[in-house]
Amino acid sequence: MRPQSLEQRVGRLEQRVTRLEELPARVDHLGVQISQLRDEMRGEFSAFRAETNQRFDQIDQRLAGTDRRFDGIDRRLDRIDQRLGGIDQRLGGIDQRLGGIDQRLGGVNQRLDETNQRISVLHEDVVGRLALILEGQARPRKRR
Protein backbone atom coordinates (compact mmCIF):
# COMPACT_ATOMS: atom_id res chain seq x y z
CA MET A 1 0.00 0.00 0.00
CA ARG A 2 1.12 3.45 -0.79
CA PRO A 3 1.25 5.99 1.91
CA GLN A 4 -1.59 8.47 1.56
CA SER A 5 -1.17 12.14 1.59
CA LEU A 6 -2.57 14.16 4.41
CA GLU A 7 -5.11 15.75 2.13
CA GLN A 8 -6.40 12.39 0.99
CA ARG A 9 -6.66 11.15 4.53
CA VAL A 10 -8.48 14.30 5.64
CA GLY A 11 -10.85 14.02 2.64
CA ARG A 12 -11.65 10.47 3.57
CA LEU A 13 -12.19 11.42 7.19
CA GLU A 14 -14.51 14.22 6.13
CA GLN A 15 -16.53 11.75 4.06
CA ARG A 16 -16.71 9.39 7.01
CA VAL A 17 -17.75 12.14 9.36
CA THR A 18 -20.41 13.28 6.88
CA ARG A 19 -21.76 9.76 6.70
CA LEU A 20 -21.64 9.41 10.46
CA GLU A 21 -23.49 12.70 10.84
CA GLU A 22 -26.23 11.32 8.54
CA LEU A 23 -26.57 8.17 10.67
CA PRO A 24 -28.72 9.64 13.48
CA ALA A 25 -31.24 10.96 10.95
CA ARG A 26 -31.25 7.62 9.18
CA VAL A 27 -31.63 5.78 12.50
CA ASP A 28 -34.47 8.13 13.47
CA HIS A 29 -36.14 7.51 10.11
CA LEU A 30 -35.66 3.75 10.60
CA GLY A 31 -37.17 4.07 14.10
CA VAL A 32 -40.22 5.81 12.63
CA GLN A 33 -40.58 3.07 10.02
CA ILE A 34 -40.30 0.39 12.72
CA SER A 35 -42.89 2.23 14.80
CA GLN A 36 -45.24 2.46 11.80
CA LEU A 37 -44.68 -1.23 11.05
CA ARG A 38 -45.42 -2.08 14.67
CA ASP A 39 -48.68 -0.05 14.54
CA GLU A 40 -49.72 -1.70 11.27
CA MET A 41 -48.92 -5.17 12.61
CA ARG A 42 -50.80 -4.48 15.84
CA GLY A 43 -53.82 -3.37 13.80
CA GLU A 44 -53.60 -6.39 11.49
CA PHE A 45 -53.17 -8.81 14.41
CA SER A 46 -56.15 -7.24 16.16
CA ALA A 47 -58.25 -7.52 13.00
CA PHE A 48 -57.10 -11.12 12.52
CA ARG A 49 -57.89 -11.93 16.15
CA ALA A 50 -61.35 -10.34 15.86
CA GLU A 51 -62.10 -12.19 12.59
CA THR A 52 -60.85 -15.47 14.07
CA ASN A 53 -62.97 -14.99 17.19
CA GLN A 54 -65.99 -14.19 15.03
CA ARG A 55 -65.46 -17.35 12.98
CA PHE A 56 -65.01 -19.43 16.14
CA ASP A 57 -68.26 -17.95 17.49
CA GLN A 58 -70.02 -18.93 14.26
CA ILE A 59 -68.60 -22.45 14.52
CA ASP A 60 -69.70 -22.63 18.17
CA GLN A 61 -73.22 -21.58 17.16
CA ARG A 62 -73.31 -24.19 14.41
CA LEU A 63 -72.04 -26.85 16.79
CA ALA A 64 -74.66 -25.86 19.36
CA GLY A 65 -77.34 -26.26 16.69
CA THR A 66 -75.87 -29.59 15.70
CA ASP A 67 -75.80 -30.67 19.35
CA ARG A 68 -79.48 -29.77 19.68
CA ARG A 69 -80.27 -31.77 16.55
CA PHE A 70 -78.31 -34.75 17.87
CA ASP A 71 -80.11 -34.47 21.19
CA GLY A 72 -83.42 -34.61 19.31
CA ILE A 73 -82.21 -37.62 17.33
CA ASP A 74 -81.05 -39.31 20.55
CA ARG A 75 -84.49 -38.79 22.11
CA ARG A 76 -86.15 -40.22 19.01
CA LEU A 77 -83.84 -43.23 19.06
CA ASP A 78 -84.63 -43.78 22.75
CA ARG A 79 -88.36 -43.75 21.96
CA ILE A 80 -87.80 -46.18 19.09
CA ASP A 81 -85.79 -48.46 21.41
CA GLN A 82 -88.65 -48.37 23.93
CA ARG A 83 -91.18 -49.20 21.22
CA LEU A 84 -89.00 -52.02 19.94
CA GLY A 85 -88.73 -53.35 23.49
CA GLY A 86 -92.53 -53.41 23.70
CA ILE A 87 -92.74 -55.09 20.32
CA ASP A 88 -90.18 -57.69 21.44
CA GLN A 89 -92.29 -58.41 24.51
CA ARG A 90 -95.41 -58.75 22.38
CA LEU A 91 -93.60 -61.05 19.97
CA GLY A 92 -92.46 -63.15 22.92
CA GLY A 93 -96.10 -63.48 24.00
CA ILE A 94 -97.12 -64.35 20.44
CA ASP A 95 -94.35 -66.97 20.30
CA GLN A 96 -95.68 -68.53 23.51
CA ARG A 97 -99.22 -68.56 22.13
CA LEU A 98 -98.02 -70.10 18.88
CA GLY A 99 -96.19 -72.75 20.91
CA GLY A 100 -99.48 -73.55 22.67
CA ILE A 101 -101.30 -73.68 19.32
CA ASP A 102 -98.59 -75.98 17.94
CA GLN A 103 -99.11 -78.32 20.91
CA ARG A 104 -102.88 -78.28 20.40
CA LEU A 105 -102.47 -78.93 16.68
CA GLY A 106 -100.15 -81.80 17.52
CA GLY A 107 -102.93 -83.27 19.65
CA VAL A 108 -105.49 -82.66 16.89
CA ASN A 109 -103.21 -84.33 14.34
CA GLN A 110 -102.79 -87.30 16.63
CA ARG A 111 -106.58 -87.58 17.03
CA LEU A 112 -107.02 -87.28 13.25
CA ASP A 113 -104.52 -90.09 12.75
CA GLU A 114 -106.41 -92.25 15.25
CA THR A 115 -109.72 -91.39 13.57
CA ASN A 116 -108.28 -92.24 10.15
CA GLN A 117 -107.09 -95.57 11.48
CA ARG A 118 -110.55 -96.27 12.90
CA ILE A 119 -112.16 -95.24 9.60
CA SER A 120 -109.79 -97.57 7.72
CA VAL A 121 -110.67 -100.44 10.04
CA LEU A 122 -114.39 -99.69 9.69
CA HIS A 123 -114.02 -99.37 5.92
CA GLU A 124 -112.29 -102.72 5.71
CA ASP A 125 -115.04 -104.20 7.91
CA VAL A 126 -117.76 -102.73 5.66
CA VAL A 127 -115.98 -103.93 2.54
CA GLY A 128 -115.66 -107.39 4.06
CA ARG A 129 -119.33 -107.48 5.04
CA LEU A 130 -120.38 -106.25 1.60
CA ALA A 131 -118.27 -108.95 0.06
CA LEU A 132 -120.02 -111.52 2.21
CA ILE A 133 -123.43 -110.12 1.32
CA LEU A 134 -122.58 -110.05 -2.36
CA GLU A 135 -121.18 -113.53 -2.14
CA GLY A 136 -124.40 -114.71 -0.58
CA GLN A 137 -126.45 -113.05 -3.30
CA ALA A 138 -124.28 -114.35 -6.05
CA ARG A 139 -125.26 -118.01 -5.51
CA PRO A 140 -127.73 -118.98 -8.07
CA ARG A 141 -131.05 -120.07 -6.73
CA LYS A 142 -132.27 -123.40 -7.79
CA ARG A 143 -135.16 -123.20 -10.04
CA ARG A 144 -137.99 -125.34 -9.25
Task: Give the pLDDT of residue 135.
Answer: 83
Measured CA to CA, the distance from residue 127 to residue 125 in angstroms comes to 5
Q: State the average pLDDT over residues 105-130.
A: 93
Amino acid of residue 112 = L
Q: Give CA–CA dist 96/94, Å, rounded.
A: 5
pLDDT value of residue 142: 64
pLDDT at 134: 86
**Model pLDDT for residues 48-81, shown as the tens digit of each residue:** 999 999 999 999 988 888 888 888 889 999 999 9
pTM of the predicted protein model: 0.40
Average pLDDT over all residues of the chain: 89
DSSP label at residue 144: -
Helix, strand, coil content of the chain in percent (nearest 5): 90, 0, 10
